[in-house]
Structure 1
Amino acid sequence: MDKDDHDAAYKCMFSYPRAVEDLLRDFVGDEWVEKVDFSSLERINGSFIDDKRRRRITDVIWKVRLADQDLYICLILEFQSKTDPTMALRVGCYVLNLYLDLYKNPKQYKLTDSSKLPPVLPIVMYNGAPRWSAPLEVDEMIDVGPGRLPDFRPHMRYMLLDQGTYQEQDLMGLENVVADIFRLENAENPEVWRSVLRKLLRYLAGPEHDGLRNAIKAWIINILIPAKFPQFKWPSAQLEEAGDLQGVEAMLKMNLDLWGQQYVQEGLEKGLEQGQANTVHRQLLRKFGPLPDWVEKQLSDATSEQWEEWGDQVLSASSIGEMFKQPEDQSAFPTFPQ
């Protein structure tokens, strides 16, 4: 999957007010969310970020009225294979640049004569496989130092949404675009996709959601399906006919049997391989006793073909050395009677 394509697809989905509203309502969780006037959501151009830094960050900025003041929401989307230890610094620079731009261009941002700048909520959305482990606060990255030096460390925190930490049972009851996007990306069973799509079609049925439905459809077809089922080639004619999420749901229904068979077959193959491995491992232990660490290492790295080969050899082998390659730093293999 191309990272730039994934970035663009997510950025497109979060360019619609409904997605941002659902994000704040069910994933932020603070009491002040109830005071937000969601009808005032306005997309802001992040022109304060230069092109070099923009290539390293996918941003979506919104302004919304919170009681009697503006609130700026910075969505920072991260699609990479590992945690970024510099994220707190990156977010800090990003937010400070936004504040500088607000201060320099009050008319552009329709600021009042108030002497204080508006609050900003930076949210980092991460969908990598390892759980996020980087600091959430800038001052956590800075040595404390003696005396009063700790008082002068900068304090800036971001909110983290680590997609992989959300469980299906926590999300399935929500009528929420963000929750259903997470469910689609986390699901391994195609039947879950159909369930989620039917749900999305129900609560995004109005014409005001046409753009968001099309953005989700494009993400599913161009990003999600190739990532989840790389072995399955969706016919181009079907892609052209999928005009909306309704068409995607229909194609899923049409191909569900094939995908389901592949899903079940993959599970059966994994189960058979694991069963074969367990059997051969037990036979080795019974015949040769406790196995050296270097043998266990070869077993843990084995392919299904190797397990099958060892299964044939274990009955006739008189020593570990007949079955496994001896590392150079190991002593001679003991010979066991047949």
Structure 2
Amino acid sequence: MVNAPDWSDEMRNVAAALFRIEKHRSEQDVVDSLGHLAEWLSGPEQASLRRAIIVWFYRVFLPNRAPGLEFPDVSDVTDLHEVHDMLAERIKKWPEQWEARGREEGRQEGRHEGVEGTLRKQVELKFGELPAWADERLKQASDEQLDIWVARILTVDSLDALFAEEPSS
């Protein structure tokens, strides 16, 4: 059996550090690996490699791992120590931001389901059991479409009229 690679500072393996960032087990792994890279690549001869890592980190890694969170423009960042320090500070706030985003998504989903359920009940009370095509239209409706139908249910005389497309203007 092959031994797992040594992630210690002595190894100074840039590729392994990047792999560890990409396949991290925790946000702290990312912070630690960036710290190692910042130290290892501090020499002036490694400026282009540092820049490439910064660009990859901001344009590829972060958008995939922390979607929806805002970060500085990559052109404003020139130092891996700066990236490490920013990440070490911001990483503490990520769970709160993800939790808030999850609550908001849950509220939106709950509102959608509530409006859909109420409209379904109104349609069944007014027109009887829903045919499969009407049931499918309700299930696939956007929030905006449901709002239109909620207003329209009061004035229409048929399911066809309720679900009729609005004329284009």
Correspondent of 1:306 among 116, 139, 145:
145
CA distance in 2, matches of 1:280, 1:289: 13
Displacement after TM superposition at 1:307 (Å): 0.4
Q: Do the aligned partners of residues 231 and 224 (structure 1) sit closer, same or farther apart at CA in structure 2, a change above 3 Å counting?
A: same
Matched, 1:181 2:26: no
1:278 and 2:111 matched: no
Separation in 1, partners of 2:31, 2:62: 22
| 1:207-250 deviation line (CA, Å, top 9, x unaligned) | 48967xx8997655322433466655422287556635453131
- AA in 2 matched with 1:264: R
Q: Is 2:107 the partner of 1:268?
A: yes
Distance of aligned partners of 1:220 and 1:264 in 2 relative to their CA distance in 1, 3 Å threshold: farther
Aligned to 2:62: 225
**Which residue matches 2:159?**
320
Compute the TM-score of the two structures, normalised by the length of structure 1: 0.32
Structure with greater proportional strand content: 1
Matched, 1:287 2:126: yes
Contact map agreement 2:123 2:153 (CA 8 A) in 1:
yes
- CA distance in 2 between counterparts of 1:224 and 1:304 reads 33
Hey, which of these two has a bigger chunk of helix by percent?
A: 2
Change (3 A) 1:203 1:234: closer
Q: Distance in 2 between matches of 1:290 and 1:37?
A: 65
Mean Cα displacement is larger for which, 231-240 or 309-318? Answer: 231-240
Contact 1:284 1:314 in 2 (8 A): yes
* Counterpart Cα distance in 1 of 2:66 and 2:27: 17
Cα deviation 1:309-334 (Å, max 9, x = unaligned) = 111222333321220139xxxxxxxx
Residue pair 2:127, 2:159 contacting (<8 A) in 1 also: yes
Unaligned runs of 5+ in 2: 6-19, 41-49
> C-alpha separation between the residues in 1 aligned to 2:70 and 2:34?
29
**1:99 maps to what in 2?**
none
Is the contact between residue 54 and residue 77 of structure 2 (CA under 8 Å) also seen in structure 1? Answer: no
Q: Is the Cα contact below 8 Å between 1:285 and 1:291 reproduced in 2? A: yes
Aligned to 1:235: 72
- For normalisation by structure 2, the TM-score amounts to 0.56
Aligned residues: CA RMSD: 4.4
- Where 2:106 maps in the other structure, the secondary structure is helix
Alpha-carbon distance, 1:203 to partner: 7.0
Question: How far off is 1:296 after superposition?
Answer: 2.3
Cα distance between partner residues in 2 of 1:37 and 1:296: 58
Say which structure, 1 or 2, has more relative contact order (CA 8 Å, 6+ apart): 2
Q: Which residue of 2 aligns with 1:197?
A: 27
Paired with 2:67 and 2:35, the residues of 1 have a C-alpha distance of 33
Matches within 5 A, 1:70-109: none
* 1:36 and 2:2 matched: yes
Q: What is the 5 A alignment of 1:57-68?
A: none
Identity over aligned residues, as a percent?
22
Work out the CA distance in 1 between the residues paired with 2:65 and 2:4.
Answer: 34
Q: Given residue 62 of structure 2, which amino acid in structure 1 is its aligned partner? A: I
Change (3 A) 1:226 1:300: same
- 5+ residue gaps, structure 1: 1-34, 40-176, 184-195, 327-338
Structure 2 contact 112–143 (Cα < 8 Å) conserved: yes
Give the letter aligned to residue 290 of structure 1. Answer: E
User: Against the structure 1 CA distance between its residues 253 and 317, is the aligned structure 2 distance closer, same or farther, given a 3 Å change threshold?
Assistant: same
